[in-house]
Amino acid sequence: MEAGPVYFVEHLGVRSFWRDVRPVLSSTASSGGRVVYFFDGPAVARSVLEKAGRWTFQRMAFELYAVKDSHGQSLWTKLFYRDLRCLRDQIRANPVFQKAIRQRDSTCFAAFLAKRVMDLGSETHNLLLRQMFMMAMIRRQVPADREVYFFVRERPWWKELQAHAACERIILRPVRDEDRFLPMEWRLLKEGGKRIQWGARCLVSGWKGLWKDSSQKMDSPPAKKGRLAVEYYGQLNVHHPDRFSDIFFGQESSLEWTDLLLYSNLSARPVTEAQYTEMEKCGLSCVAVNYRATVTGRCPVFAPPALRRSGGPYRHKRDSRNRAWIRSQGQTYEQLRAYWRRFFDRYDIRMHVSWYGKFDPNYFPLLEALRDRGGIGVLYQRSFEEFSHPWKDVFTDVLFSFSRVGASCDGHSSVAYHVITGYLGDHRFALLRSQAEGVRRKLMAAGAKRIVAYFDECASQDARWGISCRCLQEDYIFLLEKVLRLPWLGIVFKPKLAAKLRRRLGAVNELLRKAEQTGRCIVIEVGNFCSAYPPALAAMAADVAVQSHLLAGTAAVESALAGVPTLLLDREGVPGSLFYRLGTGKGVFHSWEDLWKACEEIWQMGGDFRKQVDWTDLLPELDPFRDGRAAQRMGEYVRDLLTGLREGRSREDVLAEAAERYVQRWGQDKVWTGGRDAPKMTKGDTTCTNGQA
């Protein structure tokens, strides 16, 4: 880099650069400083500005998970698990934020605001974290003695963001919204156009509902008093308990299907005719909460009048941005709360079960609406979660976790009852064993003598903000070339997103087809979006399983619990993970070359990978039961809660009685109340010492 100040722009735009960035550059730049680095922006803006001025522009290139600090730790995870929490807490301490919390006196609303802060009203997920990462990247690439200017869009909680930038020795400069460059008349006209467009959508939506009334059964009254609402994500599989299902806990318990009401809100995975027919045959009820969430005219639709659209905070003066943002969020919260109250009243919902509510700020108004009518909110752990992080602020009545490792919550969480169930997918192991043996026999019939299972992870088209498709392709190339070169090797690929695998592989598909033609390569691709089969199917067909990214360790945990030796790749750098207790070079590896060398050594000595990697000490911490009954425990607990509410008892008594029954059957250390984290466990300890039920 040339001498003088260094300039970075979050989003390069022609008007924003000319109005807000260029004046600063002209007054501070040395004669040699002519390069401006930017993170995002259209190519046309770069072309126009380079032709119009004396500046040249260079786009920042990096891969999110490949960036590490001096200790080999992933910079992204360090920011996510530590620094983001600090910045969020500084924002929470702001007098404006504290005043809003005191005025509402609602812990749910306080948690809602705290999670919304991390989105900061953006169209992109984790925008605040992205900005922090940008600053960290800037500081890594610029010498400490150089002055750095970073131009970012001005937004609420600007002073807190400036303070964080100052710690990184970065001068933060605001870039006004594009709309603020327009004359007031044009801004009013544009705002009016948006409101007209929104009103037209509401009108069309209402007309659509009237038009569908003759062919589509509208929301009907509840068939049974006091029901359980369950979020539906497109994975039904009522008659296939060996596959993923949104109602898995009902399959393994005495809950009746008539007790459940599924509701769908995903246009990407709408309720189909076949799914709705299957639900009807089983006695399940289903409702779409918008018209795009179903493609069958037989599915009822809950479509109340559209919520009034609240104005955004960006029309206000800079000194009132924080208050305007809180006011806007308060309106959104009350609208969502009113919406869910109407939904729960309409269908007589007394309980709600979800997993995504652990991370979704919109769960908080839902929970408060449910509590308003004496109901109970239930969340469960879906994926392995080793570390606490700000997005894991959990507010609910009952939280089901695999173990104490998964029960750890962020410091601002509030859970009435933590319940340990064990790994909630372990009932599928026995159901999958015969299918896994069939896969193994098929591979061995084609000549395979050694079989490897491989679990990939979601890949992003933009390598800067996720695991890159290039990384995924390199993994597949490495293994596919091994299959084609070694006639004794078989492999089972278990992609996380089966429907998108071929598109993400690109040109590697040709190599995959050649490997499949040998008969020693199988890809488990069943599933319309996510894979329908769990990782255990691939794992139990293999001699050894490999998890592609240690940071996403759910597949590895399931594989190990299913009794399969499992290895993990940690190319991002998460040295604080408990998986490192397996041993570097034994259970955890930093490259494919090291992992494959270890595999070859084991195969030369007979192929017993249990001598290489021993999960014995870890498994009790990951699942204290390991008996295949975790889903049954959750289902029976949920049934007890629902039964108590139907009998008219208070929610507090119902919660306490269900916890007591669980303690008597499964042990005092499996339930605790009120605390934020699981009680510490010493070797041989079997009792709960922190808020026993």
Tell me the pLDDT tens digit for each residue of 149-160.
999 988 889 999
- The residues spanned by each domain of the chain are 6-181, 213-379, 432-622
Per-residue pLDDT at 126:
63
Buried-exposed string 512-540: b where 16+ CB fall within 10 A, e elsewhere: beebeebebbbbbeebeebbbbbbbbbbb
653 near 358, Cβ under 8 Å?
Answer: no
Nearest alpha-carbon partner for 154 in 332, 331, 317, 24? 317
Q: Which residue has the higher pLDDT, 129 or 380?
A: 380
The span from the CA of 454 to the CA of 545, in Å, is 6
Per-residue pLDDT at 359:
87
The span from the CA of 22 to the CA of 310, in Å, is 34
Per-residue pLDDT at 576:
86
Which DSSP symbol is given to 562? T
Structure tokens belonging to residue 621: 């911490």
CA 243 remoteness from chain centre: 20
Per-residue pLDDT at 317:
46
The torsion angles phi and psi of 12, rounded to 5 degrees, stand at -85, 120
Structure tokens belonging to residue 472: 């995924």
Nearest alpha-carbon partner for 395 in 377, 383, 381? 377
Q: Tell me the angle at which helices 95-104 and 321-347 cross, rounded to the nearest 10 degrees.
A: 30
Structure tokens belonging to residue 374: 């004496």
Per-residue pLDDT at 1:
55
Buried-exposed string 211-234: b where 16+ CB fall within 10 A, e elsewhere: eeeeebeebeeeeeebbbbbbbbb
Q: How confident is the model at residue 199 (pLDDT cuts 50, 70, 90)?
A: low
Q: In the predicted model, what is the mean pLDDT of residues 56-72?
A: 82
The span from the CA of 492 to the CA of 451, in Å, is 8
Per-residue pLDDT at 313:
40
Q: Kindly state which CATH superfamily the domain 432-622 is placed in.
A: Glycogen Phosphorylase B; (3.40.50.2000)
Alpha helix (H) residue ranges in 234-320: 248-251, 273-282
The rounded percent of the chain whose pLDDT value lies above 90 is 56
Alpha helix (H) residue ranges in 175-272: 184-212, 248-251
Q: What is the pLDDT of residues 91-128, one digit of tens each?
A: 999 999 999 999 988 889 988 998 888 875 444 446 78
> Which amino acid appears at position 521 of this protein?
C
The span from the CA of 301 to the CA of 321, in Å, is 38
Is a pLDDT exceeding 80 seen at residue 572? yes
Nearest alpha-carbon partner for 415 in 381, 379, 389? 379
Per-residue pLDDT at 320:
74
Structure tokens belonging to residue 576: 């604080």
Is a pLDDT exceeding 70 seen at residue 188? no
- Taking residue 323's Cβ as centre, other Cβ atoms within 10 Å add up to 16
Q: How confident is the model at residue 194 (pLDDT cuts 50, 70, 90)?
A: low
The span from the CA of 413 to the CA of 107, in Å, is 9
153 near 96, Cβ under 8 Å?
Answer: no
Beta bridge partners of 519: none
Q: How confident is the model at residue 470 (pLDDT cuts 50, 70, 90)?
A: confident
Q: Which residue has the higher pLDDT, 58 or 179?
A: 58
| β-strands 544-547, 450-455 pairing | parallel
Beta bridge partners of 569: 589
Q: What is the pLDDT of residues 302-330, one digit of tens each?
A: 977 655 444 444 444 444 788 888 998 99
Nearest alpha-carbon partner for 69 in 567, 572, 601? 572
Residue showing tokens 């009680």: 679
Q: By three-state DSSP, how is residue 617 classified?
A: coil
The span from the CA of 150 to the CA of 173, in Å, is 6
Residue-level length of the chain: 693
Q: How confident is the model at residue 680 (pLDDT cuts 50, 70, 90)?
A: very low
Q: Which residue has the higher pLDDT, 681 or 269?
A: 269
Give the lowest-confidence range in 153-157, 171-175, 629-633, 675-679: 675-679
Is a pLDDT exceeding 70 seen at residue 29? no
Q: How confident is the model at residue 202 (pLDDT cuts 50, 70, 90)?
A: very low
390 near 118, Cβ under 8 Å?
Answer: yes
Q: How confident is the model at residue 31 (pLDDT cuts 50, 70, 90)?
A: low
Is a pLDDT exceeding 60 seen at residue 210? no
Query: Does the domain made of 213-379 have the CATH classification 1.20.120?
Result: no
For residue 127, give the H/E element and its range: helix 127-141
The span from the CA of 132 to the CA of 87, in Å, is 9
Residue showing tokens 């022609």: 14
Per-residue pLDDT at 161:
92
Q: In the predicted model, what is the mean pLDDT of residues 438-466?
A: 90
The span from the CA of 494 to the CA of 500, in Å, is 12
- Residue 34: partners with Cβ closer than 8 Å, 6 or more residues away: 2, 54, 55, 56
Per-residue pLDDT at 127:
76
Q: How confident is the model at residue 2 (pLDDT cuts 50, 70, 90)?
A: low
CA distances from 452 to 355, 508, 516, 610 (A): 31, 19, 14, 14
253 near 639, Cβ under 8 Å?
Answer: yes
Which DSSP symbol is given to 607? S
Give the lowest-confidence range in 482-491, 603-612, 684-693: 684-693
Per-residue pLDDT at 677:
42
Q: In the predicted model, what is the mean pLDDT of residues 631-637?
A: 97
Q: In the predicted model, what is the mean pLDDT of residues 232-247?
A: 93
Is a pLDDT exceeding 80 seen at residue 217? no
> What is 465-520 written as a DSSP string?
GSSBHHHHHHHHHHHHHHHHH-TTEEEEEE-SSGGGHHHHHTTHHHHHHHHHHTTS
